[in-house]
């Protein structure tokens, strides 16, 4: 019982941390995968870091451009989904990594991790909507 309570408290703490870092899930995932791909082609460490940083900036720029300039609501919804889904995956993975040894029930583990992923996705959506205040008014 104490171990489960500790897992829930640690999950809450990780959700708070993930809440603040959820905005950066998409560029971090894009940067990591770009780095891995470029580095696997033996292009060198510096070129891999440069390509990863460029890809991360482009990913955020494209999502924000789609949000600010899209007249079609489906395009805006897709841009939000592209931004929110990596945050949900990251929230799920963080909580699963911490609590998988403490919670024996697979159902309880999936519910806890799914809830944390949902909360992290909502946080990313709220943070993304905060970028709307920076948009130029047309």
Nearest CA-CA partner of 15 in 95, 77, 76, 93? 95
Is residue 71 one of the residues assigned to a domain? yes
3-state secondary structure of 135: coil
> Does 2 map to a domain?
no
Instruction: Specify if 92 maps to a domain.
Output: yes
21 occurs within a structural domain: yes
Q: Are 12 and 119 within 8 A, CB to CB?
A: no
6 belongs to a structural domain:
no
Domain interval for residue 87: 11-133
Task: Dump pLDDT digits (tens) for 1-24.
Answer: 788 788 788 878 876 777 777 778
* Within-domain flag for 1: no
The verdict on residue 25 lying in a domain is yes
The 10s digit of each residue's pLDDT in 10-64 is: 878 876 777 777 778 888 889 999 999 999 998 899 999 999 999 999 998 888 8
Q: Percent of the chain at pLDDT above 70? A: 91
Domain for residue 3, yes or no? no
Identify which of 121, 56, 52, 135 has the alpha carbon closest to the alpha carbon of residue 90: 121
Model confidence, pTM: 0.73
Helix, strand or coil, per DSSP, at residue 50: helix
Instruction: Count structural domains, the chain.
Output: 1
């Amino acid at each position: 019982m104490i171990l489960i309570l500790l897992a829930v408290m640690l999950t809450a703490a990780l959700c708070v941390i993930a809440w603040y870092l959820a905005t950066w899930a998409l560029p971090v995932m894009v940067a990591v995968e770009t780095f891995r791909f470029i580095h696997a082609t033996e292009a060198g460490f510096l070129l891999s870091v440069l390509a990863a940083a460029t890809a991360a900036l482009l990913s955020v720029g494209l999502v924000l451009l789609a949000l600010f300039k899209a007249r079609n609501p489906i395009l805006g919804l897709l841009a939000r989904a592209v931004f929110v889904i990596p945050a949900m995956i990251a929230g799920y993975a963080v909580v699963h990594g911490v609590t998988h040894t403490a919670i024996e029930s697979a159902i309880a583990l999936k519910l806890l991790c799914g809830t944390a992923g949902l909360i992290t996705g909502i946080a990313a959506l709220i943070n993304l909507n905060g970028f709307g205040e920076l948009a130029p008014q047309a």
